[in-house]
Amino acid sequence: MVSVSKGDHVWIDQRTGTEFNVEIGARVVATQAGQIVLIDDNEQELHFPAQTKFRSMHISSIEGVDDMILLGDLKESAILHNLHIRYKEDIIYTYTGSILVAVNPYKSLDIYNIKYMRQYSNKKIGELQPHIFATGDNAYWSMQRYQHDQCIIISGESGSGKTESTKLILQFLAATSGQHSWIEQQILDANPILEAFGNAKTVRNDNSSRFGKYIDIHFDKRGAIEGAKIEQYLLEKSRIVSQARDERNYHVFYCMLAGMSKEEKQALDLTTASDYVYLNQLDGTIYCDSRDDAKEWATIKSACKVLMFSDEELNDILRLLSAVLNLGNLKFQATTTQNMDTCIVANRNVLRLVSKLLKLDENGLCDGFLKRTIFAHGEAVVTPLNQEQACDVRDAFVKGIYGKMFIWIVEKINSAIYKPQDRVAYRKSLGILDIFGFENFQRNSFEQLCINYANENLQQFFVHHIFKLEQEEYDNEHINWKHIAFEDNQRILDLIASKSLNIIALIDEESRFPKGTDRSLCDKLHAHHSKNENFIPRKTDNNINFGVRHFAGNVFYDCQNFLEKNRDTFSQDLMKLLQESQSKFLRNLFLNEFHIGTETRKRAPTLGTQFKKSLDSLMSILSACQPFFVRCIKPNEYKAADNFDRALVCRQLRYSGMMETISIRRKGYPIRHLFRDFVDRYRLLAPGIGPSHVEADCRAAADKICKNVLVNQDYQIGRTKVFLKDAQDVFLEQAREQVMARKILILQNSIRTWIARRQFVTLRQSVLLIQRYCKSYRDARRLQIITNGFTRLQTQFHTRMLTLRYSVLRSRILNLQRFCRGYLARQNYSRKLNAILVLQSEVRRHIAQKHMRRYRLQEKMYREAEQERYEEEKRLIPKLGAKRAKEEAERKYQERLKILQREMSEQERLEQQRRERERAEAKRLSMERKNNVDESDVFNNIFPSSGDERTTPVHRPTTVTTGGMQSTLGNMPQSKDNIERIDKPLPLPYQDEDLKEYTFAKFASTYFQGNATSYFTKKTLKQPLLAIKSERDQLYPQDESIRSLT
C-alpha cells in the first residue's frame, strides 16, 4: 500500500463479499481538502479520506497490452481491467499467447473489410494488433507450414459472438486462399441457410445457434479451398412447438412470411406470423429489431440457388414449413366416450389444409392424432387419446418432420460443397467449431443438459491440451518446469456421461422402461448421485429437478419431458401414414425409418446416446488436429453496446480458466520443434550447420542455433525437442525470413544476370539478322522509288504536253462557241420580241372586244329594264293613280336592277374561275413541254452507244427554254433571209460512215444545225473527241478535277 498523488493509477478494493467482485482500477484526479478524488474504470467519481492507502497499478496495466501474458500484475483484476479499457476504445480482441479473447461489442465495427483481410494476410500472431483474422491466418499458414490438420475452437456463453466469429473466419479463409472460386462462394452461402433453419432469437442473443456445427474445410496442395463438409449436432427441436417469453421460433418462419409475396402465400395457404400459435406464444416476440426478415428471405433464396437447391425442392421445403405452422393451429376438443377421456378435432378445415400440404389421407391423419395402436401379445389394440395426449402427438409429429428436414438440408449442402478425397490426392483440412454456448436459463431442460455437456467436453479438451498434455510433455522432456495448478472438470464429465450409472445412462435406462416417468428418473438420479460433490440435490421431494456444478457455474435442470425428448420418437400410426404420402420429398425424409421394425425402433439409440457418440467422434477429430482457441466473452446480459458488466465478465474468465491459461502461457513453452525439423528450418541462422541428415548431433546443432539467435532468452532444450515461447518463435521466423530474403536476392541476381546474358546474345544475333534484312529491304525500296520517280516524271511530261495541246484547242473551240451562241441568242431574242408584240396586240384586241360585248349586253339589259318600268307605270296608273303607280313601278325597277347586278356578278365570278382553270392548264402543259425537252437526245441519236448499230440522225423541232417561256421556233414569224441563212442544216454524215469514231468534224457537223440554240446540256462524253492513242490518257480527262475545267 502506498500514498498517492494526482495522476496516479491505483487499485480500489470494492469487494462486497460476492463471488465475482474484484478490485477495480482508478485514476487519482485530485488530492485536496483532506480527501482523495478518483475516477474508476466505470467513470464513476469516488471520494476517500486523505490517509487512505491504495495498491499501485503496474505500468503495463495503465495503457493496456495486446497480449495479457505481458501483464506485470498477474491477477484477475488486472486481466479484467485490461479487457475493460480496451473494450471502451472498441478494441475487442486481446491475446493470451496464441489464444484470442473476443469481447462481443454488440455493435458494428469497421474492422472486417477487405483492407483488414489483406493487412492480416500472412502475418504472425503479435506482428499486428489482435484480430480474429490473425487467428484464421495463423491456422491457415500452420497447416501449410507443418502439413498438419488444424482446427479453430470457438467457445463461450450464448450471446458471446461465436457464430459471428465463425462467419468472419470463413470469409477470411475464402479471401486469403486467393482463388475466389465457386466452391468458396457455396461455403459462404451455406451460413445463411443454416442460420435460417437452426438459429433463433433468445433472451441473450438475437441470433443464437440452436444447434452445433463443425465446418471442415479442405485445401489442396496449393492452399486453395477445394471443398468442405458440415457436421450438425443436436438441433433444439422443442423450440418449434414452444418458446420462452421474449424469444422467437427459428428465423426461417418469420423470414418466409415477411419476404414472400401475397400470391406466394396464397399458394401455400399462409397469412401473417401473428396468426400462428407456434410463432405467437406467451405474447411472443414476432419482430426482432436487429434483423430484417424480408431482406433475409431474399438472401436465403439466393443462397439456395448457389447451393444447387432445385425449384421443386424449395417448393417441397416451403410446403413442409407451411404444414408445420398450420399444425400448430390444429385444436382438439375434449370429449367423453364410454366413460373415457377422448377428444375430437375442433377445426377440421386446418386438418384438411395440412393433409393437402403433406399429401396425406385426411381421415388417416385425423386417426393418427386421436388414436394410438398398441401391440400386445401379437394383437393390435387401438386406444383413444385425450386432449393433452393428442397435443403431445401433434407436437412430436411436427418436431420429427422439422428435424428430418434440417438433417436433409445439411446433407444437401454437403452434396454441393463436399468432394470425396482421392487416394493419391493431397488434402489438408482446417476445421471451425461453432457450437452452442453454455446456457443457464430460468427453466433448463434436456437440451440445456446436452448443450452444457458439450461445453464441458470442449473445456476438458482445452484443459487437456493447454495444461495436461503440455505439462506431461515438459516432464517427459526433462526441462526445468514448475507445475501450475488448474481446475480440471473431468469429474463433471464422469458424472454426466463417463462413469457407470452416469446421468445420461440413467436417462437412457428410464427411457426404455414402458412405465418410466420423469419423476422416477429424478428419483433415480438422486439415489445414485446425491453424494457426488458436483451433483446438487433437489430441495424438496416434491420437485423433479436436480443441479450440476458445471465449470461455468451451477445449473438446475427440470426433469419434465426429459424422457420424451430423449426417446425422440412420434406415433407409429403416423409413421405408417407417412409411408403412404404422395409427397416423394416427405417419404425420402423418413426412408430409413420405414425399414425399422417396432421392436428394433424401441432398441434404437436414444437422442442422448446419439449425441454422446457424435460428441465423442468430434473430440477424436479435434484431438487429431492442431487447435487454435477463440474465447468469446459476453460483456452484459442485455445485448447493449458500451456496457461492461465486470461481475459477468469475471465469472466467464474465471470459469474458463483464463488465469491458469495466462500463467501457463507465460511460464510455459507453447512452441516446440523436433531437433531434426528445427535444424532443417533454422540452420540458415547459424553458420557451419548442414541439413539434419548430415549433422551427427542434431541436439547440439539446435542448441548452437538458439545460442546464436536467442541470446539470453528463456528457451529450453529437451530430450528430443526445442521448447520456445510464442515471441521467440516469431523472432526466429522473422530472422529466418531476413536471411532467406538476402539469399534469395543473391540467387535472384545471379539468375537474372544469366538470363540477361542469354537475352543479350539472342538479342544481338536477332539485331544483326534484322539489320541485314532491313538493309536489303531499304536498297530494294530505294531502287523502286527511283524507278517510280522516272516513270512519274515521264507521265508528268506527257501530261503537260497533252494538257497544253488540249488547252489551246479548247480555247479555240470556246471562242467559236461563244461567237456562235452569241449570234444565235441575238436571233432568238429578235424573233421572241416580234412574237411577243404580235401576241400582245392580239390578246389586247381580244380583251377589248370581250369587254365591248359585255358593255353592250349590260346596256341592252338596262334599256329593257327601263322599258319594263315605263310599261308597268302606264299599266298601274288606271288602278293606283299616277303618283303611286310611278312609285310602285320605281320599286319594282330597283328590284330588277338588283337581280340583274347579282346575275352579272355571278357571271363575272364564273368567268374568273374559268380563266384561272385555263391558266393552270396552260401552266401544266408548259411544264410538261419543258420537262419533255432534252437537248441531249440529238447528240444520242447522232452518236449511238451500241457498237453494231448504224443509225441516221433524226432531226426534230427543238423546244427552247428561256427564262420560263416556251415557244417552238417553227411557229415564230421570221424573215426569209434569216431562215435561209441560219436554219439551213449543215451536211450530215453519210449513212455508211462509222459514227463510233468520234471526230471533231463529225461532232461539229452534227451539233451546229439550224435548230441549235445558245443553250446546251452538260454531259460527259463516252469517249474523247480528239484522237488519243494511250488508253490511260483517254481516261485521264474524265477525272472530276479535269472535267471541272470544262
- Cβ-contact 334, 341 below 8 angstroms: yes
> Phi and psi (nearest 5°) for 721?
-135, 160
> Phi and psi (nearest 5°) for 91?
-100, 95
For the chain, report the end-to-end CA distance as a whole number of angstroms.
122
- Cβ-contact 70, 643 below 8 angstroms: no
Residue type, 253: F
Local structure of 881: helix, strand or coil: coil
Angle formed at CA 859 by CA 854 and CA 860, multiple of 5 degrees: 100
Which residues, listed in sequence order, are joined to residue 156 by a DSSP beta bridge? 632
The verdict on whether residue 158 carries a ligand-binding annotation is yes
Local structure of 31: helix, strand or coil: strand
Give catalytic residue positions.
158-159, 163, 205, 208-209, 437, 439
Cα dihedral across residues 288, 294, 299, 302: positive or negative: positive
Residue 215 CA to its chain's centroid (Å): 24
Compute how many other C-beta atoms are within 10 angstroms of the C-beta atom of residue 443: 11
The verdict on whether residue 639 carries a ligand-binding annotation is no
The verdict on whether residue 126 carries a ligand-binding annotation is no
The verdict on whether residue 690 carries a ligand-binding annotation is no
Q: What is the largest distance, in Å, between two alpha-carbon atoms of the chain?
A: 177
Which residues, listed in sequence order, are joined to residue 631 by a DSSP beta bridge? 101, 155
- Cβ-contact 53, 3 below 8 angstroms: yes
Compute how many other C-beta atoms are within 10 angstroms of the C-beta atom of residue 401: 24
The verdict on whether residue 160 carries a ligand-binding annotation is yes
The verdict on whether residue 156 carries a ligand-binding annotation is yes
Residue 156 CA to its chain's centroid (Å): 32
Helix (H) or strand (E) holding 556: strand 553-558
- Cβ-contact 343, 333 below 8 angstroms: yes
Q: Grid coordinates in use for 122?
A: 500472412
C-alpha closest to that of 281 among 334, 240, 324: 240
Q: How far is residue 225's CA from residue 173's CA, in Å, rounded to a whole number?
A: 8
- Cβ-contact 886, 873 below 8 angstroms: yes
Q: How far is residue 783's CA from residue 973's CA, in Å, rounded to a whole number?
A: 74
Cα dihedral across residues 874, 876, 882, 886: positive or negative: negative
- Cα 620 to Cα 176, 396, 466, 608, 629: the distances in Å are 28, 33, 17, 18, 17
Residues in contact with 476: Cβ distance below 8 Å, sequence separation at least 6, in sequence order: 719
Burial class (CB in 10 A: 0-12, 13-18, 19+), 782: exposed
C-alpha closest to that of 277 among 296, 257, 249, 255: 249
Q: How far is residue 807's CA from residue 801's CA, in Å, rounded to a whole number?
A: 10
Cα-atom radius of gyration of the chain, to the nearest Å?
57
Q: For the packed helices 675-682 and 698-709, what is the interaxial angle rounded to 10 degrees?
A: 50
- Cβ-contact 327, 397 below 8 angstroms: yes
For 271-311, the DSSP string reads --GGG-GGGSSSS-----TT--HHHHHHHHHHHHHHTT--H
Q: How far is residue 968's CA from residue 1011's CA, in Å, rounded to a whole number?
A: 10
The verdict on whether residue 968 carries a ligand-binding annotation is no
Which residues, listed in sequence order, are joined to residue 533 by a DSSP beta bridge? none
Q: How far is residue 473's CA from residue 476's CA, in Å, rounded to a whole number?
A: 5
Q: Grid coordinates in use for 88?
A: 471502451
The verdict on whether residue 127 carries a ligand-binding annotation is no
Angle formed at CA 361 by CA 358 and CA 362, multiple of 5 degrees: 90
Known binding-site residues for ATP equal: 156-163
Known binding-site residues equal: 156-163
